[in-house]
Amino acid sequence: MDEGSAGDIVETRGDATPVSSVWRFEKASRASLIVDADGYFELIREAMLKAEQSLFLIGWDFDTRIHLSARRHWWNRGKKSGYPSRLGAFIAWLAKRRPRLRVYILKWNFALVKSLFRGRMILDLVRWAINRRIDFKFDSAHPVGSSHHQKIVVIDDRFAVCGGIDMTSDRWDTRAHLHEDVRRMLPSGKFYAPWHDVTMLMEGDVAGALAELGRERWETAGGKPIVPCQPQDESAWPDRLVAEFENVEIGISRTRAEYYDVTQISEIENLFVEHIARARKFVYAETQYFASRKIAEAIAERLDEPDPPEFIIINPRNADGWLEQQAMDGARNRLVRSVVDRDHADRFRIYVPFTSGGTPIYVHAKLTIVDDEILRVGSANMNNRSMGLDSECDVFLDARRPANTGIETDIERIRHSLIAEHCGLPIEDVAAQLQDGASMIAMLDAAPTRGKHIERLPIEKLDDFRSELADSAILDPERPDHRFEPIAKRGLFRASGRLRKPLGRLRRRLA
């Protein structure tokens, strides 16, 4: 493996074709992983209050009706904070009171349809449109069936956020994921299920790189060129947040579909394969889906080894919505069966977290930890779309980079914290059970099943129609042109792939 001139990691495959897995590495003076939207919404509000030159919001969806502060929700509206809590009003208020500030908001165009049914959101969009310092754009610059899926915030080109949390409804929750929390309420007044998510806050040159990425996407979507911010020493880092990492180097990887003169970028797919191949002890992942053929192939090949690493994946019980359940749950079922057929050492698990009352917690996080050396978070799921169809962005820390020496202890603490959250255990208990390299699978299989807990994903038997639908990947293609391939050649078990269709029976341990 060689390092490219621009800082990209370039792998040379057997056919001598260079494969890039990283767009660039940039320095971060500070960085922290934020778990769940309760903490994130409070922190991003505080950061936006510090914006001076530019506030750039890039997302799959924005809902102007949500409140960024839990203390300002319906149950506590009497308290005054000096500024609006609701997102739509807050952005307008901020632009009015910061004479140098320009606000740019880029949102996937399909969400325009949703906006028509969100009541006062239409009024917010009109209010933004008449403000000359707020530019709002719907992104439609992608192939049919693709989506703009990045979740990025950049402030003054000095502070940035990249992860899985959208500023929209049904995202807010605390790390406690209470069984019945009246604060988990949609603007419509309906309650929603518990929701788990993560994102990364960063300060320094890495923010300038993400700003560059955003400006390029803005122009691709038809926006006028955005002038970069003037250099400044101050950043929007929240005062009350103590950084988990300082003076580190962060890698940035992207997915972008081929579209007219826009070239295909599949760095994220290549990075997943690279990280799986690198693992010596374990890969711990939290992801909304497990439906990627390439990732399943990479895991299966490692499981073929005499002493493979452990693979622990935290998933939701079911995908969100009927169509996604048909596409993603079915594909997960087929891939899990195929992978388990190769798992001779019993090193592969998928777990689902539950509240104390038995309600599945929806896992929307996109996080991977490898051997406590790699911490990766972003917008990309372990599904085909995120590998080559939707626009995605991931950031990661790698302890093997010279600037990142010694971060393994911090990554380990984050991993223990996440496991403790899912299992309803004190972090000290998790750390004690996993000391000296103890098996995560053994610990998780033996974890308490009362109260807040995790359970192994049950694998149901699919009928022939759902099996064929899943195998074809017609609802979750890897590339734009894969929709037009012959059915016999495409899908999870495509002719060029390295996975076999699952056997007629699962091993007894999954029964």
Give the CATH number for residue 92. Answer: 3.30.870.10
**Which pLDDT belongs to residue 57?**
97
* Residue 219: both structure tokens together: 């122009």
Check whether residue 324 and residue 244 sit in a common domain.
Answer: no
**Which pLDDT belongs to residue 81?**
63
Check whether residue 307 and residue 444 sit in a common domain.
Answer: yes
CA dist., res. 320 & res. 362, Å (int): 8
Residue 107: which domain range?
A: 29-248
Q: What is the mean pLDDT of residues 375-390?
A: 96
Check whether residue 239 and residue 272 sit in a common domain.
Answer: no
Lowest-confidence range among 102-106, 241-245, 342-346, 506-510?
506-510
Q: What is the mean pLDDT of residues 86-107?
A: 94
**Which pLDDT belongs to residue 353?**
98
**Which pLDDT belongs to residue 440?**
98
Check whether residue 273 and residue 412 sit in a common domain.
Answer: yes
408 in a structural domain? yes
Going from the C-alpha of 106 to that of each of 62, 84, 109, 153, 222, the distances in angstroms are 9, 22, 9, 10, 11
Check whether residue 331 and residue 200 sit in a common domain.
Answer: no
**Which pLDDT belongs to residue 499?**
77
3 in a structural domain? no
Closest by CA to 270, choosing from 1, 19, 15, is 19
Count how many domains the chain has: 2
Give the number of residues written for the chain: 511
Check whether residue 390 and residue 458 sit in a common domain.
Answer: yes
Q: Is the pLDDT of residue 70 over 90?
A: no
First-to-last C-alpha distance (Å) of the chain: 41
How confident is the model over 351-368, as pLDDT tens digits?
A: 999 999 999 999 999 999
191 in a structural domain? yes
Question: Do residues 28 and 287 make contact, with C-beta atoms less than 8 angstroms apart?
Answer: no
Check whether residue 199 and residue 295 sit in a common domain.
Answer: no
* Residue 57: both structure tokens together: 């919001």
Q: What is the mean pLDDT of residues 482-491?
A: 59
Check whether residue 79 and residue 217 sit in a common domain.
Answer: yes
DSSP 35-72: ESHHHHHHHHHHHHTT-SSEEEEEES-B-TTSBS-GGG
491 in a structural domain? yes
Mean pLDDT of the chain: 88
7 in a structural domain? no
Going from the C-alpha of 244 to that of each of 188, 253, 266, 310, the distances in angstroms are 37, 21, 29, 26
How confident is the model over 228-245, as pLDDT tens digits?
A: 999 999 999 999 999 999
How confident is the model over 111-156, as pLDDT tens digits?
A: 556 655 566 788 888 888 888 899 999 898 888 888 999 999 999 9
Share of the chain above pLDDT 70, in %: 86
Q: Is the pLDDT of residue 292 over 50?
A: yes
Q: What is the mean pLDDT of residues 447-455?
A: 96
**Residue reference for tokens 């439609």:** 140
Lowest-confidence range among 89-93, 258-262, 275-279?
258-262
Check whether residue 277 and residue 206 sit in a common domain.
Answer: no
Closest by CA to 347, choosing from 305, 294, 308, is 308
Q: What is the mean pLDDT of residues 468-477?
A: 71
220 in a structural domain? yes
Q: Is the pLDDT of residue 486 over 90?
A: no
492 in a structural domain? yes
**Which pLDDT belongs to residue 491?**
73
Check whether residue 236 and residue 184 sit in a common domain.
Answer: yes
Q: Is the pLDDT of residue 301 over 80?
A: yes
Check whether residue 222 and residue 330 sit in a common domain.
Answer: no
Q: Which of 220, 248, 276 is the last residue of a domain?
A: 248
Check whether residue 302 and residue 395 sit in a common domain.
Answer: yes
